[in-house]
Amino acid sequence: MDESIVRNIIEVLKTASDKTVIYKALVKLRTDLVKDREGIVVFRECGGIPPVVRLLNRPHEKILEVALSILGNCCTDNECCEEAIKNKIISPLITILKSIPNPIVQCRACRLLGNLAKDHRKEIIGSNSAAISQSVCLILEENQEIPTTMMAARATKFLLFDTSFQVEFNNCQGFMILVKTLMKYMRNTCSDYIESEQVDAANVEVKTQTTGRKMHQPREEYFKEVARHLEGVRSDIFDREILKDEKEKPKNTDFKMPTDKAVLDLLGEVLKCIQIASEIANYFPSMGRCLERDVFPCLVFCSDEHNIFRSTVLKILANFAKNPASAFLLSSADAVTTVCHLATSSNLEKPLSESELQNCLSIICMLSGDACNRAKIRRSGALQQLLERAKNYSTLKEMSMILFALNNFQYDHMSMDLLLRGGLVGILIKELDAYLNSNDSKRKESRDEKKENTRKRKSIFGCANQSAKTSKVQDEITGMDQTAGVRPHYRGAFTPPPSNTAYSTVGSCSPSSPCSSRSLSPVSFLFRSFKDCDEDEDDYSPVCSDVGDSDDDESNLDENSEIMQLLTLFNKGDGKMEENSPSDNEDEKEASKPSPTDSLPLSTIDIIDNLLLRITLSIKNHPDLSKLETIKTIIEAIYVFGANNNNFSTSLANIVVDSTFFGTIIKQNSIHSIYQMTRTADLKSCGESLIDNLTTVAESGYGQGELVKLLTKGDLFHQKRAATIVSFVVKSPKLLYQHLTEYGVIYTLLNSVLNKNDEIRLEAADAITSLANTLRIILPTYDLKQFNCRKEFEEDLDMLPCQENADTMKFVLHRGCSRIPIKFDKKLLTENSDVFNSMLNSDFKESKNKEIHLKGYSVHGIKYFLHLIKLESEKKCAVIPPVYHFDSILEAYELSRMYILENLEKNLFQLIVRRLDEKSILKVFEWSLKNYNPELTGIAINFYLSCSDISTAEKAELFREADLSTYSKEWNQMIVDAVLVRCENIQNVGAEVLMYA
């Protein structure tokens, strides 16, 4: 249509007063212009929106029909919506909805309202939420025309994203009206069909009575019938393969799917509204209570594999499954059976999409707290499906949800057998490892939080040492049960704090046992984030007729974030609703931010440690528990969270105390990792407790047999590994001496440490340290109160007493061809040493020449020796030289022995022992051998064996340096002799004590 003609027609609308002329002009514009996108643009640019909006105030139904139709088409364009709102279209539109009962007018008014609400609901609702909700509810309840009801439901779908409209709509019983609308068209009212079903049921009953008792059925059928109802049998015998032939339940005849397309369109809109209600019902309990019990069987019926609403209904069921009250009704409606069938069937006519499968899994997981539901899940094969999904999960939320479900099966032995055979332990360990080593910000934050919590707990190992040595830690505390009911993604304000019992309580509910009632099943806590409704795929095109118009442009609920805004408000603990909400983009950004209460990784880790503890307590001899990656990962978790988080440490204790795992564990290096825990202050008690558990097994007949088998018949690598393990875990002197002598454990350890390229070199170094601790080879401790560490050491040595008029002696130090004289007061020498007194006051050459000649000493050594004599005469503390002057201490010690200064010799000996470290030990050892000092030699050997203050790598390097030294042969022999003699002495002392006892 030409633009000039359009302007003329619009001018007629502005000036004409005759209703017939106005009507014809509107029809002309509707049929020839406002039928496609280009026509709408032309109409808007020519200024057609304001006059048509003013026509809504005319009480003429025909004019209203066409005007609403034009505006409905125009408002598929965003700019037209904005212009219509500027021209105050809302007030007359509400008046039309409230006062004109004409179904065609109501239909087109609802259509226009929906188009406006799609992108501009905040502007149109404002303070009109009560009036709009009342009008829409009235149309939904009283109107009998399907197209009108469908348009009202469509408008409701868009309006429900506004928080104020939600409240008013709920106050008007709008959600109840939606449910009644759904039930009205879904309920099966065909009497003939119902009567035929009743006749068939009667025939079946008569047939059953005539067949006699079940004992007369064929043996195979009877066996399957018995197996189908057994709850306490082994799952590896009566498994899904036997139970899959179970007869199908009769179809639900209370509902049927309509065949009329208009009715199907209406039901589609109603279901999308219910989907929104299912999400906000978790925050408005009254919305959840308005849903009748009958709606859940209807929804379950609509989730059938052939139903066109399957995707939407599965989302609704997934949302309601998170609500505790609704979860019970879903269980009563047998939703689990239908959903499990969908999730496990591989031959569906229309395969499940990824979104549908996730919703099915969500429903299964959330309803798994009920004992009856768990039996259905296991029998249907969905439990294996959950396990496979856990191996290849896509999001952390999905994994947390699956772990929550698996946690509910912990007391069901049949299910646990299935899970363990399906690789549950491997899944838990893989997820635990990912949690511990992930760089994800949420995981890091939750790790820090869990560390902080575990620091406040008391370690259980102090009180559990005695019982853990001989048996597994018993599950005597009911706190374990409370872990099972933790809903993933949620840690509410009412969650009890971590306890100091043997099992951390991270929730307030527990799964019921297989024989318990539903009332004891765990309360279903809701997820923080929800998936939104289906996308509105079909566009409400202006080309379509007014009555049969379809939906507008694609409407993704993820982009309509008022619901997310509402959830955010309630998560912050503010129950008030804000009328002036931020823009959609701001809402989306806010919704995407992690909430402080979103503790997904923390909940996940709590479930993992609870499941691992339960498995190690109740399941015996499962090979996955003794794998290297299992033990290594649990040890890493203990390092991260500390020994106070007793679930991991108790799980590891249960593993190592099981003798059937010992043969596998000793072939790994996990025992070395456990020993390293004893070298950490925070984990020392935990590591010692675990070593004690291993000692109990290793010193048993089975443990000794496994160790001897490796030491004698294993390959070279395993012989070395067995030698290190003997040193770590064997504490009995008799057994230890036998291993050291008969099987050459000590020689194997030394060879491994001294070989720079040996694979277990570091393990062997730690094994020698552990061996020394077992034999109580330690260094004496001395209190060096008589020494004083001063920075002026060099200055002190230069201030030796040597006055000009005093009688002095010269200590002449020979260094090659040169001679270095050092003067000292003769009186001090004679007064403090009988040797000096005899030498200097007699006919010795030194007395005549007043010179004492020394070779092989340093200037610092002589000065330090003389300085100590001076300080001792003055009754002052001796000076401790710096580390790089350690030779000075040795030289002073040698001179004190030479000149029989007993007090000085004793003090210097103690100083040498206290100042021993990795840099000075070789000097001390070589000096002691060179100067025939057996006491200091023994101290040096003990240091090599027991030094635990230095790192393992440094200790291995110390051993290698000693092996390459001048006294290598003597060092090796002394190390072996020290260990064997000490072990033999302890054994003999123990035998004597036993004999006298």
Q: What is the pLDDT of residues 652-664, one digit of tens each?
A: 999 999 989 999 9
- Same domain? 686 vs 806: no
Please name every residue paired with 810 in a beta bridge, in sequence order, or none if there are none. 823, 851
Same domain (yes/no): 787, 673? no
Banded model confidence at residue 441, pLDDT cuts 50, 70, 90: low
- Predicted local confidence at residue 694, as pLDDT: 94
Same domain? For 684 and 789 the reply is no
Please tell me the distance from the alpha carbon of residue 963 to that of residue 48, in angstroms, as a whole number: 102
Query: Does the residue 555 lie in any domain?
Result: no
Worst-scoring range by mean pLDDT, 183-192, 403-412, 976-985?
Answer: 183-192
- The model's confidence at residue 469, banded by pLDDT at 50, 70 and 90, is very low
Per-residue pLDDT, 721:
93
Alpha carbon distances (Å) from 339 to 250, 344, 346, 382:
16, 9, 13, 9
Range picked from 504-513, 703-712, 885-894 for highest mean pLDDT: 703-712
Place of tokens 């219509």: 84
8-state DSSP, 884: G
Q: Are residues 759 and 826 in the same domain?
A: no
| Cβ atoms of residues 6 and 29 within 8 Å | yes
**Res 285: pLDDT:** 58
Q: H or E segment at 379?
A: helix 371-380
| Coil, helix or strand at residue 483 | helix
**Beta strand pairing call for 878-879 and 787-788:** parallel
Domains in the chain: how many in total? 3
Domain with 218, as residue range(s), is 195-241
pLDDT higher than threshold 50 for residue 544? no
pLDDT tens profile 900-951: 888 888 888 888 888 888 888 999 999 999 989 999 999 999 999 988 788 8
Mean pLDDT of the 760-780 span: 92
The pLDDT, as a whole number, for residue 238 is 45
Q: Is the pLDDT of residue 359 over 90?
A: yes
Cβ pair 897, 908 in contact under 8 A: no
Contact indicator for 762, 772 with CB cutoff of 8 Å: no
Per the domain annotation, does 876 fall within a domain? yes
Q: What is the mean pLDDT of residues 13-23?
A: 88
Q: Are residues 632 and 763 in the same domain?
A: yes
* SS3 track for 142-166: HCCCHHHHHHHHHHHHHHCCCHHHH
818-825 and 808-815 beta bridge pairing: antiparallel
The pLDDT value recorded for residue 447 is: 59
What is the model's pLDDT at position 719? Answer: 93
Would you state the pLDDT for residue 807? Answer: 73
Higher pLDDT, 590 or 361: 361
Answer whether residue 344 is part of any domain.
no
pLDDT score at 387 = 92
Helix (H, G, I), strand (E, B) or coil at 719: helix
For the cut 60, the answer to whether the pLDDT of residue 209 exceeds it is: no
Assess if residue 161 is contained within a domain: no
C-alpha 120/C-alpha 115 separation (Å) is 9
Q: How far apart are CA 272 and CA 563, in angstroms?
A: 14
* Average model confidence (pLDDT) across the chain: 77
Q: What is the mean pLDDT of residues 180-199?
A: 68
With 70 as the cut, is the pLDDT of residue 96 above it?
A: yes
Residue 621 near residue 656, CB atoms below 8 Å: no
> What CA–CA distance (Å, rounded) separates 749 from 464?
33
Residue 519, pLDDT above cutoff 80: no
Domain final residue, candidates 241, 267, 302: 241
How far out from the chain centre does Cα 292 lie? 38
- 101 in a structural domain: no
Give me the amino acid identity at 98.
K
Type and span of the H or E element at 814: strand 808-815
Structure confidence at residue 249 as a pLDDT band (50, 70, 90): low
Distance CA 764, CA 956 (A): 8
pLDDT at 751: 93
Amino acid 271 reads: L
Same domain, 830 and 769: no
Q: Which amino acid is at 73?
A: N
**Pairing mode, if any, of strands 878-879 and 818-825?**
unpaired
- Look up residue 248 and give its DSSP letter: P
Residue 17's pLDDT band, with cuts at 50, 70 and 90, is confident
| Type of residue at 244 | K
Candidates 175, 356, 187, 186; CA nearest to 274 is 175
Whether 736 and 810 share a structural domain: no
pLDDT tens digits for range 566-624: 444 444 443 333 333 333 333 333 333 333 333 333 468 889 989 999 999 887 778 89
The residue among 207, 241, 275 that closes a domain is 241
Per cent of the chain over pLDDT 70 is: 71
Beta-carbon count within 10 A of 793 CB: 17
Q: Domain containing 853 — which CATH number?
A: 3.30.710.10
154 closest CA partner among 91, 108, 96: 108
**pLDDT at 495 exceeding the cut of 60:** no
- Structure confidence by residue, pLDDT tens digits, 978-991: 999 999 988 877 54
User: How do 787-788 and 818-825 pair as beta strands?
Assistant: unpaired
CB 749 within 8 A of CB 767: yes
DSSP per position, 270-319: HHHHHHHHHHHTTT-HHHHHTS-TTHHHHHHHHTSTT-TTHHHHHHHHHH
Residue 525: pLDDT over 70: no
pLDDT surpassing 70 at residue 104? yes
Look at residue 562 in the predicted model and tell me its pLDDT: 44
Question: Domain for residue 297, yes or no?
Answer: no
pLDDT in tens, 529-543: 333 333 343 333 333
pLDDT at residue number 555: 43
Give the CA distances from residue 106 to residues 27, 99, 110, 152, in Å, rounded to whole numbers and listed in that order: 19, 10, 6, 8
pLDDT, tens digit, for every residue of 826-857?
777 887 778 887 787 777 776 667 788 888 78
Specify whether 881 is located in the same domain as 857.
Answer: yes
CA distances from 307 to 300, 303, 482, 826, 962 (A): 10, 6, 39, 115, 82
Q: Which two tokens stand for residue 165?
A: 């409209």
Tell the residue number behind the tokens 């046992």, with chain if given: 513
pLDDT tens for 114-136 read 999 998 888 888 888 899 999 99
Q: What's the pLDDT score for residue 906?
A: 87
Question: Which pLDDT band holds residue 781 (cuts at 50, 70, 90)?
Answer: confident
- Asked if the structure places residue 878 within a domain, the reply is yes
pLDDT attached to residue 944: 94
Residue 282 CA to residue 322 CA, distance in Å, equals 8
The answer on pLDDT for 432 being more than 70 is yes
Q: What percent of the chain has pLDDT over 90?
A: 36
Are residues 809 and 889 located together in one domain of the fold?
Answer: yes
DSSP three-state, residue 412: coil
Q: pLDDT tens, 740-753? A: 999 999 999 999 99
Structure-block tokens of residue 979: 């260990």
Nearest-angstrom CA–CA distance, 494 and 819: 86
Same domain membership, residue 731 and residue 651:
yes
In degrees rounded to 5, what are phi and psi of residue 342?
-65, -40
Q: Which of 774, 803, 832 is the last residue of a domain?
A: 774
CB 402 within 8 A of CB 550: no
What is the C-alpha to C-alpha distance for residues 124 and 144, in angstroms, rounded to an integer? 27
What's the pLDDT tens digit per position in 665-680? 999 889 999 999 998 8
Domain assignment present for residue 727? The answer is: yes
Give Cα 838 distance to the centre of its chain: 80
pLDDT of residue 481: 37
Give 714's contacts (C-beta < 8 A, 6+ positions apart). 722
- Can you tell me which residue has the tokens 């004083």? 788
- Label residue 635 by pLDDT band (50, 70, 90): very high
Q: What is the mean pLDDT of residues 492-509?
A: 34
Same domain, 797 and 890: yes
pLDDT of res. 806? 57
Residues contacting residue 681 through CB under 8 Å, at least 6 positions apart:
none
How far is C-alpha 779 from the geometric centre of its chain's CA atoms? 45
- 771 pLDDT more than 90: yes
Residues 686 and 719 in one domain: yes
The amino acid occupying position 561 is: S
